[in-house]
Amino acid sequence: MEFLNMNDVLKKLNISKSFLYKLLKNDDSFPKPIKLSHRRNTVFNKDDIEYWMSSKFTQLDFTHHHGVMV
């Protein structure tokens, strides 16, 4: 299993830290962070982030072509 730290996620999604916090609070489908207590660090499962991205891009592509949000 590969992990991304918060800065990696911000870069990968091209979003701000405040927007990431909004996603965590408001989007139940967004992957939950994993706290590594021994390092006092928060990471995300890379596969979960990539799956979330692909599902959102698929949804946006469908909306763009069909004019509806699923």
pLDDT digits (tens, 9 = 90+) for 2-16: 999 999 999 999 999
d(CA 36, CA 42): 6
Model confidence over 29-69: pLDDT tens digits? Answer: 999 999 987 767 899 999 999 999 998 876 655 444 444 44
DSSP codes, 9-57? HHHHHT--HHHHHHHHHH-TTSPPPEEETTTTEEEEEHHHHHHHHHHHH
Give the total number of structural domains in the chain: 1
Q: What is the CA radius of gyration of the chain?
A: 14
Asked if 11 contacts 48 with a C-beta cutoff of 8 angstroms, the reply is no
Question: Which domain covers residue 62, as residue numbers?
Answer: 3-66
Output the pLDDT for position 57.
Answer: 75
Question: 37 is written with which tokens?
Answer: 């207590």
Question: 50 is written with which tokens?
Answer: 């990539």
